[in-house]
Structures are given as C-alpha cells and as structure tokens.
Amino acid sequence: MTVTTFAAIDIGSYEVEMVIYEISSKGIKQLDHVHHIIALGRDTYNSKTVSYGLVDELCEVLYDFVNIMKTYHVKNYRAIATSAIREAQNSINIIDRIKVRTGLRVEVLSNSEQRLIMYEAVASKKEGFGKLIEKGVAMADVGSGSSQVSLFDNGSLITTQNVRLGALRVNEMIEKLAKSVSSSLAIMEEYIDTDVEVLKKLFIKDRKIECLIAVGDNINWFISRLSENQPREYYSRDEFMELYHKLYLMGNVGDRLGMSAEQAAVVLPSMMIYKKILDASDAQTLWIPGVRLCDGMAAEFAVKDKKIDVFEHDFNNDIIAAARNISKRYSWNKEHVKFVEKNALAIFDATKKLHALGKRERLLLQIACILHDCGQYISIMKPAECSYNIVMSTEIIGLSHLEREMVANIAKYTTMDFNADDELSGIFTDETMLTLSKLTAIIKISNGLDRGHKQKFKDTKYVLKNRELQIITQTYEDITLEKGASCGRVSLFEEVYGCKPVIIQKRR
Amino acid sequence: MAENKEYGSEYFFNRELSWIEFNARVLSEARDKTNPLFERLKFLSITASNFDEFFMIRVASLKDMVNAGYDKKDIAGMKPQKQLDEIFARTHEFVNVQYSTYNRSLLPQLKNNGLTVVGCFEEMSDEQKEFCDRYFMDEVYPVLTPMAVDSSRPFPLIRNKSLNIAALLKKKNMDEELEFATVQVPQGLPRFVEIPGIDGMRYVILLETIIERYMDKLFLNYDIVTYSPYRIMRNADLDIDEDEAADLLKEIEKQIKKRQWGQAIRLEIQDKMDRRLLKILKKELKIEEAAIYEINGPLDLTFLMKLYGLSGFDALKEKPYTPQPVPGIEPDGCIFDQIRNGDILMHHPYQTFDPVVDFVRQAASDPKVLAIKQTLYRVSGNSPIIASLAKAAENGKQVSVLVELKARFDEENNIIWARKLEQAGCHVIYGLVGLKTHCKITLVVRREDDGIRRYVHLGTGNYNDSTAKLYTDLGMFTCSEAIGEDATAVFNMLSGYSEPLGWNKLSLAPLWLRDKFVSLINRERDNAREGRDAYIIAKMNSLCDKGIIEALYDASTAGVRIRLIVRGICCLVPGIKGVSDNIEVRSIVGTFLEHSRIFAFGNNGQEEIYMGSCDWMPRNLDRRVEILFPVENEELKKQVRHILDVQLSDNVKSRFLNSDGTYKKHPRTGSGRIISQRVFCEEAIAAVKAEETKENPRVFIPMENS
C-alpha cells in the first residue's frame, strides 16, 4: 500500500491554517492541524491592501508551516488564498513575498474555485452527502468576505449564488455604524435581512428545502463550543435555534468560550447569517459536516494525483445542470439551444482525430452551447457581448476562472467574427487560444446549421472524408440559408482544422 | 447542568495553616519510634527544607499583600495580616517541637548507636582538636571573608538562606566602643566534618562550631566580646513582568540575581545570642519581632539529609529499594513494538523509570522516527533525557522541547538546559506567557509501513530520573490514535497556534479542565440523587480550589461517597453534618513522596479513571497548562484502581483529617499492619518473578517407575 502525505494550506480572512493528511487506498486521514489567527481580511476590507506588518507575520507563520511539513516529510502540498488576498490591491506582491521568504507557491482562488473546493470537501463525506441531495437541499458556506448559497435537488446542484454577506465584512461594517452593542445587533440583523430577502425571492422562491448544509469554519467552532455534549453533525432547527439564542444572549463571547478576540468578533455575525438563511429556506434540519477548505484540497489531490475514489458525486452533472438553469432563465428558444448543443457535440466527437481534445473541453463546448444565445435576452443588437457578460457574471461552481472566461468567449464568438489577433491573445496563452479557436470553429458550424432557428437538419451525420467534413442530412426543406451560414462562413473551421465542411443533402 | 451552591468561609480551612499541618505530619514521622533512626533524621531535614521554601514563597507573598495594602479575605475568611499572625504563632511552636525532637530524641539515640554530633569544642579529645586545627587552617580559613561594620563600611549584603556568624568586637587596648562584624559560613564546604573516632564511637562536628572556635583568628586586632550564628530568609518570589520582558530567558536570569536582595522575612538565631547583637541585626535587616526564631540547637537542619548519607549505618536505615523492571517491557527490546502490543502502565518508583528514558533514547536514533516533542519542567542534574534529545536533533529529527523556565527554584538549572538544547539544534519553546506548563507529555512521531504512527507517554510526574526514584508517580505509554492526535494538538498549542476545535480524550487546563472536573463530580451527584450508587475516589497532593470543593460538598449532600487521599494542603472540611458527612480525607506520608494524581468516578457502574499532572488547586486549574487523561484499557484500569484500593487500606502511614483541621492516625483494627508503599514494593518484585516463571516455566518431570 502506498501512503502519501499531503499538506493543504488555506490563507483565509482571519486565520491561516494547515492540515497535513495521510492519503492511502484506505482513505484520507488527518495527521496534524495548525491554525493561527491573523486578520488579513480586516486590512483588505478596510483599506484595500494588507499592511506590511501583517504580511510579515503571515510569512513567519507560513515559514513555520514549511518546517512542520518537513517533520512529516511532506512532498505534495497546495496552498491557496481566498478573498482577503484576492481583493487586496497588493495581492501580487504578497504572493511574491511569500514565495521568496518561504518557498511556497500560493494560488489565489476565484470565488467559484474556492466554493468548489468547499463543495468537494462536503461531497467527500460520501455517507451523508449522496443521500441527502436526492431531496431539496440548500448549502450555505459562510465565509469572512462573502457567502455562497447553493441549491440541490435530484442528486445534483441546481443553482448557486454568491452574496456579499461575510462575517468579517458585516462585523467591520456594523462596527463603523453602531454606537452601542444592542443597537449593533439590530443593525446587523437589518443589514443581513436585505440581502437574504433578495436571495429568497430570486433563488429559493417556493422550492421545498428540507435540509440546510452549513459549512464554514465559524459554525464548526460554534457547535463545538456551545454544545453541552459531544458535537453532532445533525441538528434540528429548534436545537440550532436554542444554541443560537444562547450565543445571542451571551455578551462577552471571547472569554466565555475561550476564543481569541478576532474569532469572537466574527462568530455572532456568521451565525446570524446561517440563521437568516435557515429562516429563508425554511429547512427543518441542519447538517454540519464539520469540513474545511483543506479537506477539499486533500480530496481533490487524492482523486487527481492518486486516483483514489473519494467522491461518489458527479461534478460534471452539476456544471451542466447549473448551465441549463441559467439558460432556462434567459433563452427564449429552447429548441435552438438543444439543436446547437446536440450537433456541436456530434461534430466534436466526429472530429476527434483533428482536434485531439478531451472530456473537459467537450464539457466546456457543451456549456458554451447551452449559454450561447442568452445575451439576446438583454439586447438583440449586441447579443454576443451580452452573452459574454452574462456568463462572466454568473457563478458556475466547478469551472475554474479560466474555464469560465473560455466559455464566455466561445459563446461570444459563436456569432461574431473570431480573430485570433485581436484582444484575446493578450489574455490567453497560445495553448488556450488554440483550444478556444478549435471549440469556437465547431460551435459556429453547429449554430449555422440552425440559422433559421427551425431545426431543419434532422438525423444529421458527420463524416471525415478526404479532407472534408461531410455533413450528411436528410431534409426536404430549403437549406440555402443554413448552407450559407455554415459553409459560407467556413474560414475559421478551415483555418483551424485544414478541412472543409460540406453539406450533403440526401433526399429520399 | 445545575450550578453548584456557594458555601461561606466557615466551610474552608486556610491553605497556609493546612500546609503547616502537613509539615507537622512529616515531623511526626521524624518522631515516630517505629521508623529507623536515620529515616527519622531525613524526615526532620525535610521539615526544615519545607519550611524554608514555605517562607520564601508563601509567607513572602502574604507579606507582599500586607505591604501593598491588599486586604481581601481568603476562602477561610482570613485577611493576610491575620494569616501571617497565625503562621508565626504556629511556626514558633513548630520549631520548638523540631528542636526538642532533635535534642532530646535523635541526638541521644545517635550517641547510643555510635555517632556523636559534637556540640562544643571542650568536649573533644586532644587528637580531635588537633584535627580541627589543621582542618580550619588548611580548608576553612582561606575561604572565609569576615566583614566588619563601621562608619566607612556599611552593613553587608547577607545572602538568602546562608548561615552566618555575627560578632561584637572591641579594639584591643582601646576605648569601649563596640563594633559589629559578620562572617558567612562558606557554602562551598561541607556543613559537617567527620573527625577521628574514639573507641568505636564516631564523631562529626558542624562547620560553624569549628569557625566559632577560631573567631579570634579572623579579627586579629580585636577582642571578641560575643558571637552567635544567625540565618535569614528573604522574599524569593520572582516578580516577572512577562508582557514587558522581551526575552524571558534573560529576564529570569536577572531576577535570580535579584533574589538575593529580597526583603528579609525570617531571622533565625541561636537562643543564647547577645541582646546587643540581636538589636543590631533587627535594625539592619528591618525585621519584626514575630519573624525572629530563637533556636535551641544548630540552625538549618537540612544538613541532616547529608548526615543520612554517612556510610556505615545501614542497619539504621530503611533497606534501599531497587526499582523493578516493568512487566511487558523487555529492557533491550524495541519499545515501540511493545507499546504497539498494548498500553503500558508504570508505577514509579516501585517500577523503574528506565523505559521512559529508553523511549526517548531509542527515538533519538530510530531511523523511522520523524519527530520528538516533550515538555520538561524540572530536569535532573545530568539528565539522560536531555542528552538523548540533543542527539536526536543532531540525527536530523525534528525535536521540539518546551522548557518551563518558571519552575520555581529550578530557574537557573532550566536556563542551562535550554541553552544546551538550542545549541544542539532543538526547537526550544519557553512556555506560554502568563501560564506555567506543568503537564508531562512526550510525543514520538514515527513513519511506519502503513503510515504515520504516534507514540505518547503521559505522566503524573516530571521527566526527572532522580526524583523518579523518590516520588510516587504513574506513567502510561500508548499509541492510541485519539490520544496521538490530541498530543499533536497539545504541542501545536504550546507552540503558539490556536487551540483545536475539540479534544478526543485529553482535557486541558486552563481552558477546559475545571469544567471537566465539575461535570464529572456533578454527574455523580445527579446519579446519587436518582438513587444510584455513586462514589468518587481522588488522590492528589493538594486540594484548595473553592469551586471544586463546593461541587464536592453538593455531591456529598446528595449522598455520593467521597474518599480523598490528599498528601498536603486540604482546605475542604470533612464531616460537617449535612454538608460533608460523606467525605473522608486521608493523607499518606511515607518514605517516598506521594505525588501521583488519580481520579476515579463511579459513573453508575461504568467506572471512569483519570490521571494527570494537576491538583485541585486554582493555580493548577486556572494558571497552568495541565493534562488530564483517561485510563481506558481495562487491564490498566484494574491496576490503577488497585493502587487506590491499597492506599485506602493503608493503616499505618495514613492519617485522617478531622473537622477541626487536625489529623489523627488510622484507628488500627484487627487486621495486620498495611503500609501501602511497602505493599507496592513487594508487588513490583512479585510481578517480575511471575513474569520470569511465565517465560521459563518450571517443569517438574516425574520419575518414571522403571
């Protein structure tokens, strides 16, 4: 049996932590866990940069972490930073300082990447997760800067939304406004209520939610400190409310619960956010799986590098389901979307020899197809740009930031001229540009085949023959428009693949 | 969980007076004729050194309170000044008993057994006098520094705990004016010297007796009017401002030097001292009347411990006991393999401390070991553990050591070790600001074929191989995953990282331990209320925490049977009708210093047993890092419970606390004498024998009928 050690480092808004795991075919076991309170988020949310002193302290702590990693002979690690660093104007310098002083490479995660990791951490708890999301379930991941609310049904993720309600952010905001403790609690409630209201109206609507999955560091603390008995994973709504009231009335939380001042300051705001979301969702039970970001990183590492089966859950389905949900909101012509998706994927599969792309790219193409015409909802004049903007401002958990940008561009260039020399090449690497152009070429043809939005091409077959992509279709309808749209505008496909698309109409 | 009731000051004893009672129990061992003579010397010596420490710390801090105008009453309702008054009254009485024991009982008996302590010069033979002449001129005279006081020479610094001789001098052929002079009895020389014997009788003479004889040699141009030995005790409580101190190590070094200058809080003089001399001392040392002890005999009886070491009197000493091997641990085997076979319990000093030393030693050179982490509180003079840790660091292991610099009176020692470890490449942590690290834990992280495995040693006593031969302590080896995880978290916490979310098995002071104890006690109370059998057996060194005592009173009221084995201070008042009639407190003072802490709770038939480094004292529960650990292995649990049972059945060395604060001996009934410490010695020897026969089963081969 091979045993690997893996270190996961999470640079959060008020705490840095490292967990060292032992990964083997038996699963993932935690070996060591250290955390250090450091309020990076306070600097970022107040002054937009992290001060020199804190960066210095951060480097020192990380240097210690490196030493602890050495103790366990750790070779693989992943270090990530979340909103406090992401939103800091000096984030590039901070990452560089860390690299120079400690040798650690720190990735700054986008919100959706960060949420995916947390989501993976939850999903790695196979026993609880798979069964639970068969029914209507909401997941609240309350962080320091913002919170993520996701809805599940029938085994996959339906929708997810980021709200700028973070424990530290709320606390900082209220501290500036409030004059007394009692009034600050009231202001805090009001402040949180407005955002949660929107969340309820737009996302939760009248969905039936049976259980709220509550994740985040603060709720883990809260449960372990306030429960009189051994903390559990499941709580009924009433039990949770009882604990919440205990906290609400406690006053000096830090001394009572043996917490540092920084921690004590965020515990009540975050619990209030959970409570409000619980109210909005009307869920009757709470699942507190007690996981943290580091667990998600370990799970991802185990799956990708060690091929160890950690999840039962299919994350690709979530991405597709989420995309369909967005499309449902914006697209007026579902049949057209379906057509483009089906045919683009068929072309992709038929041209495998030419593009040599994999499953992940196929998924990106599929998402782009599903979302390609949602811009029309905003503007008929500029649908391409609008599609781009919708994709870019909609969270799709499971896609990395780069992937999201790729999808947005593919959607945009479905109807616009694709020119590799324009602004794109400044944003993407050559390799990415190539993938982008390959996928765009395919979607352009597929879209062209339904130029009339009448889905005239039925039972279409795609065959590669003599440097031609033969599009064999059986239709009695007039396809002049489509012929012109797809084979007239072939330049990109030909340019990319060196192969000409030809429509062969078979009339029987 | 219901809160516990509050109890008024009449329900508590004052801790200082309770401590004096404890010292009185030690003294009564010195007076106990059934003890071998030399053991009695040892007990008397212990009472003396106990008192020195008591004055330097406890009396000093009460003095500080009085000086600062702090007027708060203690749990027994006494203000600081009132406590001081009582302490002085009781200790004067106590000193009288000490010296009557020495003069009337021990000295004559020593003489009967062939050893004379020479009281004055005139008693000696000429040969002996000549020996002393030579000894004084060759050894003593060169290191003496007599100091006179006059207008140009101020009163010198008299060092804390040093023995001195004061003298009044008159210049030869001059006017009548008297001058004061003092000379320190050198600490570098042995306090007594054995001089030539006569007819089988051996003689020892005290160093100050020799110096007194030659006083005129020290002050050549003077006539000695009078002289007399004296000794002072100073306030030695370190006053360290940790928040201000940039480098704790340096700050403590500085304070140790300052200790010599603390306020004088006790003056011991010989009872024949000239009043003029006393007046000068009183004025210069600014000492009050009550703090002056006039003593009929030699000052500073701690020399008796050295006298005990005199060879040739083995018949008058307890037979020396050799700590026995621990069954289940092959001295030459791999300790890690043996721990993997199951948790191991060790009872020191009945069983040897070697496995603990071995544990660290093997870890230092085991190629599979990645890291060693250990807390060190008081370390022995030439500690093999320190040497192993240093070696481990040199072998490339990650070694983290928490050295508690604030361990009282060991500060100097600790600084030396800390430096040594740092030089070897260990990561040395000097404790947490505001908290003393008192827990005793060692963690060895090992990379094995199936992953990382952690080995933990938890104990009730310090990692000190010398005191492990004198203090009774318990230790446990385990490689349980749950405890291993907790141990890692303990060291992370001690290194300055935040506490973990929760603990698997361990309970830690200062954050969680008090609640844990109170909830364990209250669970018994609730069980008793519901009519279930409920009991608590707890063994510790001191019990003076108000919250815990109140919880115990509540439990007793509810009907929980509580038996406490408290060696030292006990502020709980047993036998109060309706409050503590179910509580029984006993104290065991024996050859070994009772030191282990064991806590057993009935838990409605599912008995739970815990051990740890903490007493039920506010300082243990609120200002120290302490660990309480459960004993879960059934076999081990039986062993620990057996230890408690044997102690409870001790009918010779145990004394019961009365409601008035005094102690009375065990009312011995029919069954024979049971001395628990002796039982443990015998059992340890028997266990080794049993193990040997198990390994080489003796087989009797019957003779065949041929």
For residue B349, whether the previous peptide bond is cis, meaning omega lies within 30 degrees of 0, is yes
Tell me the pairing of strands B264-270 and A500-505. Answer: unpaired
Q: Are B361 and B384 in contact (CB under 8 A)?
A: yes
Do the chains contact at B502 and A30, CB–CB below 8 Å?
Answer: no
In this prediction, what percent of chain B has a pLDDT beyond 70? Answer: 92
Q: Which pair of tokens denotes residue B473?
A: 């302590």
Nearest CA in chain A to B482: A31
Average pLDDT of the segment spanning A396-400: 80
Q: Which two tokens stand for residue B702?
A: 């019957």
Q: pLDDT value at position A320?
A: 87
- Proportion of chain B above pLDDT 90, given as a percent: 34
User: Quick one: pLDDT at residue A224?
Assistant: 79
Asked if B493 is an interface residue toward chain A (Cβ–Cβ < 8 A), one would say no
Using an 8 Å CB-CB cutoff, list chain B residues near A260: 498
Interface of B with A in 386-405 (CB under 8 A): 398
Residues B319-328 pLDDT 10s: 888 899 988 8
Neighbouring C-beta atoms of residue A477, cutoff 10 Å: 15
Give the count of beta carbons closer than 10 Å to the beta carbon of residue A40: 28
Lowest mean pLDDT among A187-196, A257-266, B501-510, B641-650: A257-266
Q: Among the CATH numbers 3.30.420.40, 3.30.870.10, 3.30.2350.10, 2.60.120.620, which is that of B509-693?
A: 3.30.870.10
Shortest distance, CA B656 to any CA of chain A (angstroms): 38
Residues of A in contact with B492 (CB under 8 A): 32-34
Query: Is the CB of A32 less than 8 angstroms away from the CB of B488?
Result: yes
Nearest chain B Cα distance for residue A27, angstroms: 12
Domain segments of chain B: what residues?
32-316, 335-502, 509-693
- The pLDDT of A16-25, averaged and rounded, is 91
Closest CB to B370: pick one of A33, A72, A228: A72
Please tell me which residue of chain A has the smallest CA distance to B510: A258
pLDDT: is A496 or B586 the higher one? Answer: B586
Q: Which of B445, B451, B512 comes nearest A24 by C-beta?
A: B451
Mean pLDDT rounded to a whole number for chain B? 86
Q: Per residue in A162-196, pLDDT tens?
A: 888 888 888 877 777 766 666 777 888 888 888 88
Residue of A nearest to B397 (CA): A71
Counting residues of chain A whose pLDDT is more than 70, the rounded percentage is 94
d(CA A80, nearest CA chain B) in Å: 19
Residue B340, pLDDT > 60, answer: yes
Residue A35 and residue B498: Cβ atoms within 8 Å? yes
pLDDT in tens, A72-126: 889 899 999 988 898 889 889 999 999 999 999 999 988 888 888 888 888 888 6
Q: B450 and A3: CB-CB below 8 Å?
A: yes
Domain B32-316 has CATH 2.40.37.10: no
Residues in A closer than 8 angstroms to B507, CB to CB, are none
CB pairs < 8 Å spanning A and B: 53
Task: Give B403→chain A minimum CA distance, Å.
Answer: 19
Contact criterion met (CB < 8 Å) for B502 and A33: no
Query: CA A148 to CA A424: how far, in whole Å?
Result: 30
pLDDT in tens, A121-148: 888 886 777 778 888 889 999 988 888 8
Could you give the 3-state DSSP secondary structure of residue B33? coil
pLDDT at B46: 92
pLDDT of residue B424: 85
Q: Which residues are within 8 A (CB) of A261 and not within 5 positions of it... i.e. 6 or more apart?
A: A254
pLDDT at B252: 58
Omega before residue B320 within 30° of 0, cis? no
* Interfacial A residues in 11-70 facing B (CB < 8 Å): 15, 22, 24, 29-37, 64, 67, 70
Which 3-state string (H, E, C) describes B66-118? HHCCCCCCCCCCCCHHHHHHHHHHHHHHHHHHHHHHHHHHHHHHHHHCCEEEE
- Helix A217-226 and helix A237-248: axis angle, to 10°? 80
Runs of H (alpha helix) within B159-231: 207-213, 215-218
Mean pLDDT, rounded, for A187-206 = 84
Going from the C-alpha of B21 to that of each of B24, B564, B594, the distances in angstroms are 5, 17, 16
Q: What are the residue numbers of the active site of B?
A: 438
Q: Return the pLDDT at B473.
A: 92
Q: Please state which of the ranges A189-203, B14-28, B249-263, B269-283 shows the lowest mean pLDDT.
A: B249-263
B137 touches chain A (CB under 8 A): no
CB B203 within 8 A of CB B196: yes
Residues of A in contact with B495 (CB under 8 A): 34, 64
A5 CB within 8 Å of a chain B CB: yes
Q: Which among B398, B489, B500 is the nearest to A71, CB-wise?
A: B398
pLDDT value of residue B364:
92
pLDDT at position B351: 92
Q: Is B1 on the interface with A (CB under 8 A)?
A: yes
Provide the pLDDT confidence category of residue B255 given band limits of 50, 70 and 90: low
Instruction: Quote the minimal CA–CA distance from B397 to chain A in Å.
Output: 8
Decide if B488 touches A, using CB distance below 8 A.
yes
* Per-residue pLDDT reduced to its tens digit, B497-534: 877 777 888 888 777 788 889 989 999 999 999 988 89
Res. B237: pLDDT tops 70: no
Does any CB of chain A come closer than 8 Å to the CB of residue B2?
no
CATH of B335-502, one of 2.40.50.140, 3.30.70.100, 3.30.870.10, 1.20.140.90: 3.30.870.10
Helix (DSSP H) and strand (DSSP E) numbers for chain A: 23, 14
Element spanning B48, H or E? helix B37-54
ipTM of the complex as predicted: 0.74
Contacts of A220 in chain B (CB under 8 A): 501
| Residue in B445, B485, B497 nearest the CB of A35 | B497
Condensed to tens digits (0 to 9), the pLDDT of residues A57-70 reads: 999 999 999 988 98
Cα separation, B690 vs B33, whole angstroms: 35
SS3 A375: helix
d(CA A330, CA B30): 96
Tell me whether domains B32-316 and B509-693 share a fold: no
Dihedral of the alpha carbons of A230, A232, A238, A243, in degrees to the nearest 10: 50
Look at A128-132, A486-490, B84-88, B454-458 and tell me which has the smallest mean pLDDT. A486-490
Is the Cβ of A227 closer than 8 Å to some Cβ of chain B?
A: no
Q: Domains of chain A (ranges plus CATH)?
A: 4-109+297-304 (3.30.420.40), 127-288 (3.30.420.150), 315-506 (1.10.3210.10)
- Looking at residues A342-367, what average pLDDT do you find? 87
Tokens for A15, please give them.
């705490």
**Residue B1 pLDDT:** 42
pLDDT at A303: 85
Rounded to an integer, the average pLDDT of A336-353 is 86
CB neighbour class for A506 (10 Å; exposed up to 12, middle 13-18, buried from 19) = exposed
Strands in A27-37's sheet, in edge-to-edge order, are A27-37, A15-24, A4-11, A76-81, A106-108
Q: Using a CB–CB cutoff of 8 Å, tell me whether A208 touches chain B.
A: no
Selecting from A3, A70, A220 the residue whose C-beta is nearest the C-beta of B451 gives A3
Q: Residue A279 pLDDT more than 50?
A: yes
Are A3 and B499 in contact (CB < 8 Å)? no
Q: How far is A3 from chain B (nearest CA, A)?
A: 6
Q: What is the mean pLDDT of residues B476-490?
A: 92
Residue A466, both tokens: 């003599």
Q: Which of residues 53-72 of B touch A (CB under 8 A)?
A: none
Dihedral (Cα; B300, B301, B306, B312), 10-degree rounding:
150
Tell me: the pLDDT tens digits for B598-638?
A: 999 999 888 999 999 889 988 878 788 889 999 999 999 99
Residue of A4, A32, A74, A227 to mutate for B, most B C-beta atoms under 10 A: A32
* Residue bearing tokens 């018949």: B315
Per-residue pLDDT at B263: 77
| pLDDT of residue B398 exceeding 70 | yes
Listed in sequence order, the residues at least 6 apart from B622 whose beta carbon sits closer than 8 Å to its beta carbon are B509, B510, B514
Q: Kind and range of the H or E element at A24?
A: strand A15-24
Give the per-residue pLDDT at A488: 65
Q: How confident is the model at residue B706 (pLDDT cuts 50, 70, 90)?
A: very low
